[in-house]
Structure 1
């Protein structure tokens, strides 16, 4: 089974992608409290398999780590992964800059812990600009690997198109819509036709 990497920004449906993969029998690792990103970079720096320690997983989402001293994201990690696994699958999950930035700003509001944006501003000061970071993610579309899919989360059929893409790569996809974990209000819900089709599919599987 090929590996699947979500290489877009966090707060861009990474939980939903993780649930989508798990629902379709694809064991997936999500974030791992930042250890996933740190281990990939650490392993690659030592010249060993970047995914050493994660051999039991085939899907990887929210590949991020942010601390008081270090920020790691797919902007850096994408090149490490594609060199190590050129034949695997890469999904660039994106939404509009405005909705992504709003979602990041809302993350952990009401909690004593700072938002992601606040942590990055504390780390980088006035040098940090959210739009510049977003544009760095968008540039990952340039010179993509062979198996590459752009998942536009603002399209109503976003996960249906992902399902079709993965089926073309040899995956059997039964659950075609995720249970949008930690979703924000702007993330589109399946349309009426999509909901009807999903109910029919579930009914056929029970029969």
Structure 2
């Protein structure tokens, strides 16, 4: 359109929910609509952000050429999306998307991820971190439930009343439509009303 040059350039988008909550589907939505997005990158994305955080550099130093950032984690080691207040401070104009689902189904999905290898790797690192070899898979289930609730509370406290935050349940098509409209209001050209399918079947929610 002739007046497009008057529109402010949209800022970055950070997906700040957990993995196994439609992260690949959201990544595909951005890519499908012409926006550069980085998803996990075999852990290199989170590892670079971790190094930047440790050595007091801007968090996206070395990975700052993207519009979207999804699945910023290292299993049982580092979860870059937990740095949302610092991302918000360092990258003004960004928006933060909180992808959710039923927490019990999410825990089950993590337990079954890669035929249980993800959960076992996480538990092994948790045992070493706390010097407690007695921790079990049931302890891990409880830990993930508590971690979910803590992250949920932290996000809602921090972003209360803010216009650059949006929460949606990946399993509810009507909420996906509202997400797409939210992004359009923020200046992103998003076609359609649903997330592209990626990962598990929709009934189990993509991850």
1:88 to 86, 94, 99: 94
Check if 1:116 corresponds to 2:118. Answer: yes
Q: Distance between the aligned counterparts of 1:14 and 1:119, measured in 2?
A: 20
1:179 and 1:18 map into 2 onto residues whose CA distance is 9
Which protein has greater RCO, CA pairs closer than 8 Å, 6+ apart?
2
- Structure 2 portions without partners, runs of 5+: 1-9, 128-134
CA distance in structure 2 between the aligned counterparts of 1:7 and 1:86, rounded to whole angstroms: 16
Following TM superposition, the consecutive aligned residue runs of length 4 or more in structure 1 with deviations greater than 6 angstroms are: none
Residues 41 and 80 of structure 1, relative CA distance in 2, 3 Å threshold: farther
Which residue does the alignment assign to 2:149?
A: 135
Instruction: Give the root-mean-square deviation of aligned CA atoms.
Output: 2.1
Bigger helix fraction: 2
Equivalent pair of 1:24/1:174 in contact (CA under 8 Å) = yes
In the TM superposition, what whole-angstrom CA distance separates every residue of 1:97-140 from its partner, at most 9, and x where no partner exists?
Answer: 1111111122111xxxx532222211113374111111122122
| Residues in 2 aligned to 1:17 and 1:6: alpha-carbon distance in whole angstroms | 8
Query: Which moved further from structure 2: 43-52 or 82-91?
Result: 43-52
- Structure 2 residue aligned with 1:151: 168
Shift of 1:71: 1.2
Q: State how many pairs are aligned.
A: 182
**TM-score (normalised: structure 2):** 0.79
Partner of 2:182: 165
